[in-house]
Amino acid sequence: MMTLELDDETATLLARLAEQEHIGAVQLVKKALVEHANVMRDKGDLITDFAGVLARSPSFQGDPLEIQKAMRDEWD
């Protein structure tokens, strides 16, 4: 169990939203946390997700060997 201390504005908002949803404040907080966790899970912060972004980047288009050669030839 955890006790949270809320400022008056947040406590009023929580009470109003809980009343609108016809649920208790505890259930509303739990629902919000579960939804937030689902969004964060689906967001994809894995390095493999970032690699997918890189694959579509113009910098990584073309033949990797040719890209390496071109980069090395910059110093000649």
Q: What pLDDT score does 24 carry?
A: 96
Q: Tell the burial category of 18 from Cβ atoms under 10 Å away from its Cβ (0-12, 13-18, 19+).
A: middle
Q: What pLDDT score does 60 carry?
A: 72
C-alpha span between 60 and 27 (Å, rounded): 47
Q: What pLDDT score does 16 carry?
A: 96
Section 9-23 average pLDDT:
96
Q: What is the pLDDT of residues 20-65, one digit of tens each?
A: 999 999 999 999 999 999 888 777 667 766 777 777 777 777 888 8
22: left (phi over 0), alpha (psi -120 to 50) or beta: left
Q: What pLDDT score does 44 carry?
A: 64
Do residues 27 and 14 touch, judged by C-beta distance below 8 A?
A: no
C-alpha span between 13 and 39 (Å, rounded): 22
